[in-house]
Chains A and B, each alone.
Chain A
Amino acid sequence: MSTTSVLTDSSDGYRQRWSWDKVTWGTHCLNCLATCNYRVYSKDGKVLFEEQGGSIETIESKVPDLNPLGCQKGSAWSQQLYSEDRILYPLRRVGERGESKFEKISWDEALTEIAHSIVDTLDEFGPESIVFEESVEGGLLSQSAFLRFASQIGAITLDAQGLVNDLPIGHHITFGKFSCASTVDDTFKSDLLLLWHSNPAYTSIPYHHFITEARYRGAQVVTVAPDYSASAVNSDLYVPVTPGTDAALALSICQVMISENIFNRDFISEQTDLSLLIRLDNNRFLRERDIKKGGGEETFYFLDQNDVLTEVSKKTLELNGVVPKLEGTADVTLADGIVITVTPVFAVLKNFLEEYEPEKASQICGVSPKVIRHLATLIASKKTKILEGFNAAKYYHGDLMERAMCLCLALSGNWGIPGTGIQGLALAGLDGYMLFSMKRKAGVEETARLLDGIDMAVDQMRQKDPEATDEMLGNQMLSLSVASGTSAPPFFFNYHHVGYRDIWNKSEWSDSSMSKTFTNYFDDAMRRGWWGGVAKPSASNPPKMMFLVGTNPIRRARGGRERMVNSLWTKLDKVVTVDFRMSSTALMSDIILPAAMQYERVNVQYPITHTLRLSFSDKAVEPRGEAKTEWEIFSLLCEKLTEVAAERNLVEYLDGKRQVRKLDKLLENFTMDGAFEKEDAIIDEWVRDSADAGTLPMGSSIDTLKEAGSIRFAGLGIFAPGLSVAADVDKDKVMTAFGWHVKNKLPFPTLTKRAQFYIDHPWFIEANEMLPIHKDNPHLGGEYPFVLTSGHSRWTVHAVSMGNKSVLSTHRGQPLVVMSSVDAANKNLEDGQFARVFNDYGSFKSMIKIATRVRPGQLIIYNGFEPHMFSEWKGSNEVEPGMVKWLHMVGKYGHLRYLPFGWQPVPADRAISVDIELADKDELREET
């Protein structure tokens, strides 16, 4: 062979390696809220690689575009298709649970066994003993499949937000909704960015460039965090706050703004409840029913400059030239003739905030008074946006922190205008997806019938409540649909059946303001009917069967194995996991069904307002092994269940609402008489219906997605989740949340119709949480010297990338507990040693990583490591008791009522009290 031919062969070989015969669009996960578009290159039925799409159009001139969305996890996704932890065949457990012994079985065997278990459960216990965990991670087609199946048989589906707790409950208390997020490009328009409870350099890699670009145009970036995080490195100012004391810091900033008179009086008068009157005799709002017989419960008052009692409009935030008084008192004669004194919320707040003068607050939060004053001046004078993740939400008193952070924005007039607001989570409502579950047949005429019906229902509601906004009516619609649906907050399931009741009753791990036991409050809430209709399953309805479709409670659930394995699992006759990878939960399941991954099926990701785009993932290759999509799996299960039910003569049964259900036409109903056997057709229907409803651009179809990879929304839609962002969607403008409130003066969906900082519910009064206040974090897990915090890592969000060798090779490839060099020296611990982290609840072992960036007294274990990556398969959730704040059991108080993904009690997992010691080396060696 000549030299020339060798070279030619070699270069051809190289070219062949990087040549492909197919290019498709792909997207992976919702985890960091980016839903990035990738180009996926495949050859001979195998995916070779992917690269960032970079094809998103410029939205607004002179504002950087979203390109190129992506990160190292997405760019290595294709390696997971071929990784060793893929589940390729249906598997059945053959050993004891947890022994991880499985046998390969056929699909027919697997489905037959599951169908028999369903029939057994329906027959003996009823459908509410079959439980599904809701999840959005697998994309809408995954979710749609199992929710549709669950709905057909009357099973219970546990609200995903209550499971993962990405619920910024302080936003909900303040604004009546948790959806406050603008499109991420709005970040570019900020003059001051507060990275508070977030670490975007780790967790928002696709969006991080907007922070840098904002700095280029002169914005200041401030990181507020206990540790000197990767985001702090790139900030102009780092504010080191003691873990769990952010409310004290925020309230101190508010105190400075008020005392130095640098707050925005007009903004708070118009947008918030701070001008509303409080009765000093009982700390409750002055209501119409107080001063008029038969008066309204939800009509409130302020005083104008002439001390005239003025009714607060429910229809608009516009004050029409009236200037409410913010201070002073007045006497008011009640309907029964008694004279009481009232004062505006602002006056109470001002007085209350004296406890948070910087010198005092500094003692709590550890931030110097000078820095607090500097921050107050900055926030009051600049267009400020708080980039908040879901970290505060996971503190026991995270609601108070968030309420205080929102108060900083209120006093400085910082929402509803470009470059302002608080950036948490916001769902973009894909109307077509929402309509799909209501449709009885395919096509536009059914869509129009439903939309006309919704219009009619909304009109009827509007007649009853003429002052309600579309958003409020949307919430009312959602409440009605909840009552008839399968979704339930997991709180009740956890309380009755997962053993949390005993844990939540540990007063020493709870809020010290509780005067009764947790169960006393629980019973009170139940007796008052605050959770009527969604408080399921009941104590007498034990779970017998669980479906975990792409969810991983063994890793995720606060409480660890004690709650899941030793409590819940012992009650379950059958655990079915549908997943593409061997998660810790799959390892503990009875039947495992292999799911197709993105690139092996069509899918669209759950859209969120950060990009305001619907992202599409096309089928590039056939699923590996015998993997199937969830739609196929649950279609087959419908067919099998009908067959088995007929064999066993289960003709009909009653569901939890005492309605008769039948199993004879499951598949026909599931596919709408065959119209939706193919998944392309489902996505096409969602997109066309969304376009017809005005949420996506007219003329959009799945073909638009196949060509462009993603579509930007044209509107917020007609349903509550989308409408709550309250902003215009213009095709050539960045979207800023809450524009409707500030520009159009539309009221907020709260009790007072204003951003509400004062909650006069009796329980809040009992807890002294009428206003945001700082409360010390309870000693979750006992009294120990360290607080364990967490957050998403740079290498994975949740556990999805934990089986990806490329990603694993970018870190130590195993769980790490990160601690300060000072603490390590004091404890004689060294980097690379194995430590035991423990408290009264439990313990886990992990390798130590020493970092000077971590503050003394803090331990960090990043989220996502699978329990089976730890010794004894005990993950970091082993020390998390999963405490729930009692106040969040309040219901039927204005906006404090359950809505899917919204208001509900959720477990805390931040700032857990722990200690750390060197693990027994011999023990670890034995396990290894």
Chain B
Amino acid sequence: MFTFSLSGLEIKSSDNGPLEVEENETTSRSAVYMVLGKFFAPVSAEQYDAALNDHLSKEIKDGASLLPFEFDTGNPKLSEGKSYEDYAGEYARLFGDEKGSRLLASHDVTDKENILAQVKRDYEYFGLGANADLRPLDHLATQCDFLQYLCFKEAATPSPRLKKSFQRAQRDFLQHYLIDWVPVLASEVAVKTPIEPFNWAILTLKNFVALDYDYISKALGG
């Protein structure tokens, strides 16, 4: 069985449907967003441990096992001999600071308030409240959280209408934010010659977002 795990978002309603669902290709997509979301969240010892002990590698492989498209999960192994301080320093070097200020959708946008309002409305329409105390609403990790949740809901709902709604939401959200922004981010990070698993993470995210967008667009007949 698969269950979702949100860290930047919280469910608003008490009667929000099942909390776990049989694993399938849709939960597999959800799982990949979950792993990537956790990786890009503000740096923590937990992330370091996952990279150090190869849990990250296992998580992404397990998660992606039922994906409906070919996807190379790669090898997200921490570079040899790196301490937590090295790991956290690399995160901050690549992503602005240890909270990942470069990972905000509003990073280089003048009207930041507008972006924040937009993503908040996206989350709320789909029954989620934002835990802004934890990290900004437009943080890449939060956006991955949202996609994780939408995929889970798609898998969990018995309503064909709602399934379509969740699919459209995934496509629209990817199109609105990640599909353009992630490749730009990846290019910026690439020139900084990141160590592993950061190099892996950014390339994996870029590839996965493109493949998933393509997949969901086709599923919707577009």
Contacts and interface: CB of A to CB of B under 8 A. Distances in A.
A443 B168 contact: no
B84 interface: no
Nearest to B161: A448
B168 A698 contact: yes
B124 A675 contact: yes
A444 B118 contact: no
A703 B116 CA distance: 11
A452 interface: yes
A445 interface: yes
Interface string B1-37: 0000000000001001100000000000000000000
Contact of A443 (B114, B125, B172): B125
B193 interface: no
A448 B166 CA distance: 11
Contact of A452 (B121, B124, B161): B161
Contact of A684 (B114, B121, B127, B175): B121
B125 A699 contact: no
A443 B169 contact: no
A702 B121 CA distance: 9
B121 A699 contact: no
B138 to A, nearest CB: 13
Interface string B121-145: 1101111000000000000000000
A701 B122 CA distance: 9
B124 A701 contact: no
Given A680-B117, A703-B118, A442 B161 contact: no
Interface residues of A, number: 23
A50 interface: no
Contacts of A699: 168, 171-172, 175-176
B125 A442 contact: yes
A487 B209 CA distance: 49
B165 to A, nearest CB: 5
A451 interface: yes
A692 interface: yes
Nearest to B13: A441
B219 interface: no
Contacts of B122: 701
Contacts of B159: 448, 452
Contact of B162 (A442, A445, A698): A445
B202 to A, nearest CB: 26
B37 to A, nearest CB: 21
Given A448-B161, A452-B161, A699-B176, A443 B121 contact: no
Given A451-B161, A703-B118, A444 B169 contact: yes
A700 B165 CA distance: 13
A441 B161 CA distance: 18
A924 interface: no
A885 interface: no
Interface string B167-195: 01101100110000000000000000000
A699 B126 CA distance: 13
A681 interface: yes
A448 B169 CA distance: 14
A575 B127 CA distance: 41
Contacts of A675: 124
A282 B165 CA distance: 56
A688 interface: yes
Contact of A448 (B117, B165, B175): B165
Contacts of A452: 159, 161
A688 B126 CA distance: 11
A701 B117 contact: no
A445 to B, nearest CB: 6
Nearest to B127: A443
A698 B222 CA distance: 11
Most chain A Cβ neighbours within 10 Å, of B126, B162, B168: B162
Given A680-B117, A703-B118, A442 B124 contact: yes
A443 B126 contact: yes
A685 interface: yes
A443 B149 CA distance: 14
B107 to A, nearest CB: 18
Interface string A615-633: 0000000000000000000
Nearest to B150: A444
Given A451-B161, A680-B117, A444 B124 contact: no
Interface string A675-700: 10000110011001000100000110
A462 B122 CA distance: 36
Nearest to A442: B124
A455 B13 CA distance: 25
12 contacts: A441-B13, A442-B125, A443-B125, A443-B126, A444-B125, A675-B124, A681-B121, A684-B121, A692-B168, A699-B176, A702-B121, A703-B118
Ranked nearest first, the 4 interchain pairs of A and B with the lowest CB-CB distance are A699-B172, A448-B162, A443-B127, A703-B118
Given A445-B127, A448-B165, A699-B175, 17 more contacts: A441-B13, A442-B124, A444-B125, A445-B17, A448-B161, A448-B162, A451-B161, A452-B159, A452-B161, A681-B121, A688-B125, A698-B172, A699-B172, A699-B176, A701-B118, A701-B121, A703-B118
